Amino acid sequence: MIEYRSVSNIDELNGILALQENNLKDNLPAEVKSREGFLTIKHDLATLQAMHDLCPSVIAAEHDEVIGYALVMPVEARELIPMLEPMFSQFDTLEYKDKPLGSYRYYVMGQVCVHSNYRGLGVFDGLYNMHKRLFSPIYDFVITEISVNNTRSIRAHERVGFRTLHKHHDQTDDWLVVLWDWNDNA
């Protein structure tokens, strides 16, 4: 049975890193990236631990093996991954419902990944539903950026409830900024 819970130990952080390594865009053939999606950012244990210390991420586990994860990246973690600073700077310029993003309580979805053997089984939705359960009392919404080339991830985020807030281009890719407002009943 698949269990959804907050990360609680270093073995689970290492499980996240192992799953991440297998799904990084540079480690996948083009046809797999197109069909299954991909990850852009590679984390290390120290960074994951620092993120976890601010707010534990959510994992899906079966028999104590990490089969999926969704990383919590509070705004306070923006300096932990320097290559994400342009994303955070972009967020600083955006508005939602005619108010600056900074006037809301939100966090960034640092990364979400499901083991290939468990895709299509509702694990992605389960991870996000656990996020909503754990974090909607604290935050107004979760926001993230998705490569426009990662169509599987875009569709999955839309299915859960994310809506596109902004589209932009940087030196690496074209991106959608998507947001899941937990207070919006529309």
Q: Cβ(5)–Cβ(130) under 8 Å?
A: yes
pTM listed for this prediction: 0.90
Convert the pLDDT of each residue in 123-177 to its tens digit. 999 999 999 999 999 999 999 999 898 888 899 999 999 999 999 988 888 999 9
Which DSSP helix (H) or strand (E) runs through 154? helix 151-160
The rounded distance, in Å, linking the Cα atoms of 166 and 24 is: 24
Domain 3-181, what fold? Aminopeptidase (3.40.630)
Mean pLDDT by 10 residues, the chain (186 residues): 96 95 78 73 93 96 95 92 88 95 94 91 96 96 92 92 94 91 78
Q: What's the burial of 173, exposed, middle or buried (CB within 10 Å: 0-12/13-18/19+)?
A: middle
Two tokens, residue 44 = 């290390």
